[in-house]
Structure 1
Amino acid sequence: MTGRPLPHSSELPPASLEGWYVLHQSIELDWAGLKGAEPAQAREALRSFAALAETWSADSEPGWSGVYRVAGGGTDFLILHFRDTVDRLIEAVSDLKLSAWGDHVLVREEYLSVVELGLYSLTRELAERIDPGDREAWDAALADALAEERRKGYVGRRLEPRQPEHMPYVCYYPMDKRRNPEQNWYRLSLEERAGLMAAHGKVGRRFAGRILQVISGSMGLDDWEWAVTLWAADPLEFKAIISEMRYDEASAEYAEFGPFLVGKRMAGAEFEGLISSRAAQ
């Protein structure tokens, strides 16, 4: 029966699909150590990291990594790792630590999450047909709906994102939904949450072709609830989309934002040249 009230709808979380795991690493370089090292050691460290960066960016394994030079934020570089398993993320971090470059790197912050596609509308529509309290029927119907959703081509591209070559700039920040007594996202009904997120999504779609957005969930994985990664050809696009979204109700009433990092992706050869010139000073 369509349109019936949803039982306990404030307690019904949206279904979601998960894709690649993501690790954001904020890196500070030991400039003094690099400049004080023997020239041969410094060159080896630079070459090892350039080679590692090139290996990470290849398509030879499920996932990739990107290195970004950060503007401000009290750090030097952001390294963004996408992998299909947590084990592969651990391997990527170990590769960095075990390289000659690892002796000159200080990891200031690390943030773990998994690419997430939240399905508010699908969950609401399904709950109008199937009683979520009937666990057997609900679980079976939900599994079928998620399998059908995952078969869609665009869903796979969203769950396993790759940075467009024409969008070299990145913006990253973590965020929560408020749980204040008078502003508790998690006590809203499913209908209310789905409606707010639909309006929120309309704002984002106005930036299609200008911004590529990746939402990754981190409940149970890290301190915030989500991480947001944006790519653009022009960093002013970050200001434009975030300013506009601040006025939409889902953000204005219920969103809390963590610190922002903005940077530009670098190829291995560019990275090596940059550090070489600094180390020689």
Structure 2
Amino acid sequence: MTSRSLPHASELPPASLDGWYVLHQSIELDWSGLRARDPAEAREALKSFAGLAEKWSAGAEPGWSGVYRVAGSGIDFLILHFRNTFDRLIEAARELKLSAWADHVLVREEYLSVVELGLYSLTRELSGRIDPEDREAWDAALADALAEERRKGYVRRRLEPRQPEHMPYVCTYPMDKRRNPGQNWYALSLEERAGLMAAHGRLGRRFAGRIVQVISGSMGLDDWEWAVTLWAGDPLEFKAIISEMRYDAASAEYAEFGPFTVGKRMSAGEFEGLLASVAAR
């Protein structure tokens, strides 16, 4: 069997770096079940939830988890888990299922992805110097370029994202690139894709300091191709950036968006408020 040659430069997929694994969990709370339980048992269940959230947010291991109260979307909470290995992500989900709180929650949806940094410009620049069909030379040059990128501090921070303290709000949604006849992202040349993504990035940088964006890839991991996670200090920032990006060619012509979920990260005081509401019934 002969080995398959690499594609011509115009057909190249962008090189990318992968970071932390991500699990989005959409949670519905069984309020009627909690109210029907003995108040002491219900409070104990919520305490176990608060204890898990405190442990996850402490960041004792590589990664962290955040719990968010949600408005709309038909759910009560969104939980975001970031871990450096797939096995640790499994363990975080298992901790939730084994907690006393698990008897009172329904996990409505889960979405698996991995933080991804797409390197269109790097791929385009490298393909101008190295023939991608020369497998040995291309593989060596690409490995060196990716290693150099990963050593950069700002790249590591993007691959291992942390939610800024001053940005408690979250917006998440999945997305695909279109593959319609005459409107197929994957049929565009590398030059066209790189140009569109460069313009897309310039627009996004206008929101620097107002929004932090995390792109996580899910090809082969879940039903969509990417998950987008945004953090902001004001939920109206989500409306602003999404509205502007609808007019950007990369989105207007080639992007398909899934359902949006918006929430606010819970503080210790809000967990205490949940406990008080159960105690007061």
Q: TM-score, normalised by structure 2?
A: 0.96
Q: How does 1:161-180 map to 2 (within 5 A)?
A: 161-180=161-180
Relative distance call for 1:98 and 1:196 in structure 2 (3 A) is same
| Residues 45-82 of structure 1: per-residue CA shift (max 9 Å, x gap) | 01111111000001211000000000101111000000
Between the aligned partners of 1:260 and 1:145, the Cα distance in structure 2 is 35
For residue 198 of structure 1, report the CA deviation from its aligned partner: 0.1
Structure 2: gaps of 5 or more residues: 1-5
For residue 278 of structure 1, report the CA deviation from its aligned partner: 5.2
Contact 1:117 1:215 in 2 (8 A): yes
Contact 2:39 2:279 in 1 (8 A): no
**2:19 corresponding residue in structure 1:** 19
Q: Secondary structure at the match of 2:222?
A: coil
With 71-80 and 8-17 compared, the bigger mean Cα shift is at: 8-17
**1:128 corresponding residue in structure 2:** 128
Between the aligned partners of 1:11 and 1:279, the Cα distance in structure 2 is 62
**1:198 corresponding residue in structure 2:** 198
Relative distance call for 1:193 and 1:41 in structure 2 (3 A) is same
Contact 1:53 1:267 in 2 (8 A): no
Between the aligned partners of 1:15 and 1:105, the Cα distance in structure 2 is 40
Q: How does 1:1-281 map to 2 (within 5 A)?
A: 8-274=8-274, 276-277=276-277, 280-281=280-281
Structure 1: gaps of 5 or more residues: 1-5
Contact 2:46 2:274 in 1 (8 A): no
Relative distance call for 1:143 and 1:47 in structure 2 (3 A) is same
Length, aligned pairs only: 276
Q: Secondary structure at the match of 2:18?
A: strand
Between the aligned partners of 2:82 and 2:26, the Cα distance in structure 1 is 15
| Residues 223-271 of structure 1: per-residue CA shift (max 9 Å, x gap) | 0000000000000000000100010100000000000000000024422
Between the aligned partners of 1:221 and 1:145, the Cα distance in structure 2 is 26
For residue 279 of structure 1, report the CA deviation from its aligned partner: 6.8
Between the aligned partners of 1:258 and 1:98, the Cα distance in structure 2 is 30
**2:3 corresponding residue in structure 1:** none
Relative distance call for 1:193 and 1:270 in structure 2 (3 A) is same
Aligned residue type for 2:252:
A
Between the aligned partners of 2:10 and 2:27, the Cα distance in structure 1 is 40
Q: TM-score, normalised by structure 1?
A: 0.96
